[in-house]
Chain A
Amino acid sequence: MSEPLRGIVLAHADLAAALVGAARSIAGDDTGLTPLSNAGCDRAAIAARLEAAIGAGPALIFTDLAGGSCTTVAATVARNRPELRVVAGANLAMLLEFAFHRAEPLDAVAERVAAAGRAAVREVGR
């Protein structure tokens, strides 16, 4: 059986560390998630941080803002690399979905977490 997927959360300032910390507080320490920040980095430095975290892959990369520097760099790094997928708009629901299903194939997990993230955004209390 192959290794569970690795997840990398790449986001602005301290957001990734906070999101991964929150995911661990709910799902336990074995979430498979690594937080990365773009702080102080140009695009090349963000890419270098990301490559170091990816290792041999396969990996699912979560980014915060579609169109932000984290997302454009992640998409560039993942281009033409089937062992990598990128999902923008990271939220806690998405990361928890990943933590509990990361033994599944990469493409299935990417679809699953994107759906979970979308479903978690809703107006409540009305």
Chain B
Amino acid sequence: MSVALYRIDDRLIHGQVVVGWGQALGAGFLVLADDGVRGSDWEQELYRMGVPSDMEVRFASVAEAVAAVPAWESDPRTGIVLTGSIEAMAALCAGAPTVRKVNVGGIHFRAGRTERLRYVFLAADEAAALRKLASAGVVVTAQDLPTAAPVPLEGFT
């Protein structure tokens, strides 16, 4: 097995990720690549709270994640790698070219963003960043839950 899901989700580790995707994929490990949480033991403990004991949770900086992708890709278990922002995922893809598919799972409203899908709000520069990722050969789709149909990039940027 390998990493089955590279996901952008600004709620980080939460129910949709752990229950929705984790159960459907039979995930054995979950990585949150986030520089802020990586530096906070307290936040790590908080995010561990919602993860079942049979799923390993790791916290990495984006730079650490870039270095670790080959190991995660060869892990015999199924994995999920999560970032909280497009910027972090773009950096991960740039440093780890084996990442070929990205799931936009949740980017919520903020001033300057417009609604593209019920769970995806993007500013113009964020939409451009996703298109840039796609132009580099990464397949970018939006899908909040595994039971929903993936929406191609053209459908929300």
Q: Which segment of B13-21, B62-70, B93-101, B142-150 sits at the interface? A: B13-21
CA distance A43 to B110 in the complex (A): 11
A40 close to B108 (CB less than 8 A):
yes
What A residues does B156 contact at CB under 8 A? none
* CB of B83 to closest CB in A, whole Å: 13
B51 close to A67 (CB less than 8 A):
yes
Report the interface size for chain A: residues with CB under 8 A from the other chain.
17
The residue of chain A having its C-beta at the shortest distance from the C-beta of B115 within the complex is: A40
**Count of CB-CB pairs between chains A and B under 8 Å:** 52
Interface 0/1 of A29-45, CB less than 8 Å to B: 00000000000111111
What A residues does B110 contact at CB under 8 A? 42, 44-45
CA distance A66 to B18 in the complex (A): 12
What A residues does B43 contact at CB under 8 A? 76
B108 close to A67 (CB less than 8 A):
no
CA distance A71 to B18 in the complex (A): 14
A69 close to B11 (CB less than 8 A):
yes
A42 close to B13 (CB less than 8 A):
no
The residue of chain A having its C-beta at the shortest distance from the C-beta of B51 within the complex is: A67
B11 close to A67 (CB less than 8 A):
no
Asked whether A43 and B50 contact (CB < 8 A) given A67-B18, A79-B42, the answer is: no
What are 28 A-B pairs with beta-carbon distances under 8 A? A41-B108, A42-B106, A42-B108, A42-B109, A43-B10, A43-B11, A43-B12, A44-B110, A45-B110, A65-B15, A66-B49, A66-B50, A67-B13, A67-B14, A67-B15, A67-B50, A68-B14, A68-B15, A68-B50, A69-B15, A71-B49, A71-B50, A72-B46, A72-B47, A72-B49, A72-B50, A75-B46, A79-B42
Binding site for B on A (CB under 8 A): 12, 40-45, 65-69, 71-72, 75-76, 79
